[in-house]
Amino acid sequence: MAARIPKLPRLTLFSGPNCSLCDIAKAELAKVKKLHDFELEVVNIQEKGLEHWKKKYVYWIPALHLNGQEIAKGLWDASTVLRALQRDREFDSKESSK
């Protein structure tokens, strides 16, 4: 059997303009990036067409999803992200061993 190429975790940061907590979140993600590689998409919930995310997170940005699942909202730090990445990696290991 061919070696399985690990898929990079995909983080989505829901953010907005003039959001000091969002700036802190980006700095925390930079700390995580030094330890783990991941893809990052930043979504400005104020942009046209993103009303669903604005309604969901207007009072909770920054919010963070890992592979499409919410893992944090409001005030969070690098340790929150690291724990989620670890759980995701453990899940992937279990799934690939089946």
pLDDT at 93 (0 to 100): 60
**Is 82 strand, coil or helix?**
helix
- Tell me the whole-structure pTM to 2 decimals: 0.87
pLDDT at 98 (0 to 100): 55
d(CA 17, CA 21): 11
Element (H, E) at 24: helix 20-33
The rounded average pLDDT for each run of 10 residues, N- to C-terminus, in the chain (98 residues) is 71 97 98 96 98 97 98 97 93 60
**Is 43 strand, coil or helix?**
strand
Token code pair at residue 31: 């700390």
All domains in the chain, ordered by first residue: 10-96 (3.40.30.10)
